Copies of this chain bind each other. A is one copy, B any other.
Amino acid sequence: MFDFKYYTPTKVIFGRKTEDQVADLIKEFGGTKVLIHYGGGSVVRSGLLDRVKNTLDQAGIAYVELGGAVPNPHLGLVYEGIELCRKENVDFLLAVGGGSAIDSAKAIGYGLANEGDVWDFYDYKRQVKGAVPLGVILTIAATGSEMSDSSVITKEDGLVKRGYSSDYGRPKFAIMNPELTMTLPDYQTACGCTDIMMHTMERYFTNGGNMEITDALAEGLLRTVKKNAVILRDDPKNYDARAEVMWAGSLAHNGLTGCGNDGGDWMTHKLEHELGGLYDVAHGAGLAAIWGSWARYVYKNCLPRFKKFALNVMDVKDEGTDEEIALKGIEAMEDFYRSIKMPTNLRELGINAADEDLVTMAHKCAVGVGGEMGSAKVLNEQAMLDIFRMSM
C-alpha cells in the first residue's frame, strides 16, 4: 500500500433542476463577473444556455460568453478566452457542457491567474500557482473533469495534445442534473460509459500498492456503470440510470478509486491518445477498441488483478486456472463493449490503418511517455507496436 493524498474540494449539487442554483453558487464562491464557456450547439439548442443567462440576469451577475470548445480543446480558443476575460475583468469561469468546455475553462483559468504563456504548463515547463475560480454545469457524463485536477489541451501547430494536472484546476462547484444528459446520442452515451469505466480500470490494473477498500469501491463502481450502460442502451431517458452513470463519472476520476495504489497504468489512454491524434475517433470508442488487445498483451504480468476483475466485476465463475479466469474476464468485457455497440478493435472503429501508421503511432506514443510506461506491464515502443497490431 502506498501513501496517498486525497483532495476533492468540488461542491457537488446533484439532481433535477439543480442548474437553477447556479447564481447562488457563483456568489458563494465570490464571482461577480462571469465568463460562460461552452462547446457546440447542443447547449444552445436545448435552451440551457438561455436559462443560465436568465438566472444570472435575475441575480444581477454580469457575464460574457465564449462558445466553440471542441473535444481536446484548442489552445487558440484558450488564448481567446484569456484575452476576453482580461478585457472584461472576469473573476469567475462557468463551464457549461462536458469535458471539452471544462478543460478549456481550466486552461483559461490558469492563463488568467499566472503570468506568461499558458502553454508552458501543458509543455511541462512550469507549475501553476493559482487559477481563477471555476464552476461547472455538466451536460455529458464521461471525462470526470468536473471533479478532477486534470485537463487536456491541443496546440494546433503540430497537433500536440497534452494533459496537465493541478489541484488549482479542481472546480469550486459542479452542478449535475442527470436530465441534461438525456439528449446525448446513444453512441456518445456508450462512449461516456466506456470512458468512465476506463478511468477506474486504469487505476485498478496495477502491480503496486492496492488497498482492499479502494478495490471494493472500484469494483462496485464498475459493476454499476456496466449494468446501467445496458439500461441506457434500451432506455436512454431512464433518469435513475442516467444518475448512476453521471455520479460514477465523477467518482471514477476524482481520485477515490486510486487511493493507495501506485498511480495506475494509463497505457490504454496513452495508446488511444495517438489514435485520436491520427484519426477522428471518439475518445471512449478509441479506448474500447484498444483495451482488449492491451489486456491480452499484459494480463500474465498482472494476473491476480485480472483474476479479481473477472470474478468481482465480470461475474466469471471461479473455475479453472487463474489464466483461464483472467481471459474469461477480458472476453466478458469485450462482450460488454459489443453489447453497447462499442468497437473491440480498430477495424470496428472504422480504421483500416497501414502498418506504417501503426509504427508511427507506437513511436510517437513511446516518445510521449519518455520511452516506456505502464504498471500492469511496462511497455516499450515494440510492445506498443505489438498491441496496435493486435488491435487491427
Counting every copy of the chain, the complex holds 2
A160 within 8 Å of B (CB atoms): no
Asked if B3 and A247 sit within 8 Å, CB to CB, the answer is no
A293 to chain B, nearest CB (A): 29
A4-23 vs B, CB cutoff 8 Å, 1 = contact: the mask equals 11111101111110100000
Interface hit among A66-74, A132-140, A211-219, A282-290: A211-219
A9 — which chain B residues lie within 8 A by C-beta?
Answer: 8-9, 11
What separation, in Å, do the CA atoms of A243 and B4 have in the docked complex?
11
Contacts A212-B224, A220-B213, A220-B217 given; does A12 touch B6 at CB 8 Å: yes
Asked if A243 and B211 sit within 8 Å, CB to CB, the answer is yes
Asked if B247 and A211 sit within 8 Å, CB to CB, the answer is yes
A338 within 8 Å of B (CB atoms): no
- Name, among A216, A239, A248, the residue most crowded by chain B CB atoms within 10 Å (CB to CB): A216
Asked if B2 and A251 sit within 8 Å, CB to CB, the answer is no
**For residues 302 through 352 of chain A, which have their beta carbon under 8 Å from a beta carbon of chain B?**
none
A144 within 8 Å of B (CB atoms): no
A29 to chain B, nearest CB (A): 12
A82 within 8 Å of B (CB atoms): no
Task: Identify A221's interface contact among B213, B224, B251, B259, CB under 8 A.
Answer: B213
A300 — which chain B residues lie within 8 A by C-beta?
Answer: none
Contacts A217-B220, A219-B220 given; does A244 touch B212 at CB 8 Å: yes
What separation, in Å, do the CA atoms of A256 and B220 have in the docked complex?
13
Given A4-B14, A6-B12, A247-B260, 13 other A-B residues pairs in contact with their CB atoms under 8 A: A1-B239, A3-B14, A3-B15, A5-B11, A211-B247, A212-B227, A213-B220, A213-B224, A213-B244, A213-B251, A216-B220, A217-B221, A217-B251
**Residues of A near any B CB (own CB < 8 A):** 1-9, 11-16, 18, 211-213, 215-217, 219-221, 223-224, 227-228, 239-240, 243-244, 247-248, 251, 256, 259-260
Q: What are the nearest 5 A-B pairs in CB distance?
A: A3-B15, A216-B220, A9-B9, A6-B12, A213-B224
What would be 29 A-B contacts, judged by CB atoms less than 8 Å apart?
A1-B239, A1-B240, A1-B243, A3-B14, A3-B15, A3-B16, A5-B13, A6-B12, A6-B14, A7-B11, A8-B8, A211-B240, A211-B247, A212-B224, A212-B227, A212-B228, A213-B220, A213-B221, A213-B224, A213-B244, A213-B248, A216-B217, A216-B221, A216-B223, A216-B224, A217-B217, A220-B220, A243-B260, A247-B260
